[in-house]
Amino acid sequence: MSDPLEALAVRVDASPFFLGRVLLAYADSESLDEAGLARALGCAPRVLALLRLCRAPREAAPELGQDLDEIGDRFGVDADRLLSVVRRGQALLRLQAVAPAAHGFLMAARDAEPPREDRP
């Protein structure tokens, strides 16, 4: 990774202080890589790095809209598109926080593996 700003953006993805964590939660849920996430937001990869380095928006309704308007205006990103991505990311993070066993629950809902034919 040659761009130091992109490297820094990767570093803050684990911190709840930054928007990157919310965007990463959304990207994980959609199995998107960075380019895919940038496409979902309608922005260039360089702008995505800046978005990830923004402070995480507040969760309550009026403040969330204000915060995303500020981010969208500053970096030229469609605020509605950003809103839907951020809402999903925040919801996923809330789910992870209140239900740490949710991973196991979701695993239980998967299809069973087909029986192996070479078993005796």
Partner 1 sequence: MNLSSPPSAEQGLDVHRRLCAGSRTATAELCAAYLPYLLAWLERVEPRADPHLRTQAAEDALLKLAQVPWSYRPERGGLATYLRMSARCDLSNAERSERRHHRLRISLAIVEDSPQAGKYLGREDAAPIEPIPALQGLDEKERRVLELIAEGERRTEAFAAVLELSNLSPAEQFGEVKRAKDRIKKRARRAGGLRERSA
Closest CA to 84 of 72, 96, 74: 72
When binding is defined by CB under 8 A, the residue of 50, 85, 89, 90 that contacts partner 1 is: 50
Q: Would you count residue 35 as binding partner 1 (CB under 8 A)?
A: no
Q: Would you count residue 14 as binding partner 1 (CB under 8 A)?
A: yes
When binding is defined by CB under 8 A, the residue of 39, 55, 94, 103 that contacts partner 1 is: 55
Residues 65 and 48: their CA atoms lie apart, in Å, by 19
Q: Which is nearer to partner 1, 32 or 47 (CB)?
A: 47
Cβ of residue 119: shortest distance to partner 1, in angstroms? 41
Q: Would you count residue 79 as binding partner 1 (CB under 8 A)?
A: no
Q: Would you count residue 51 as binding partner 1 (CB under 8 A)?
A: yes
Residues 5 and 26: their CA atoms lie apart, in Å, by 21
Burial class of residue 49 (count of CB atoms within 10 Å of its CB; 0-12, 13-18, 19+): buried
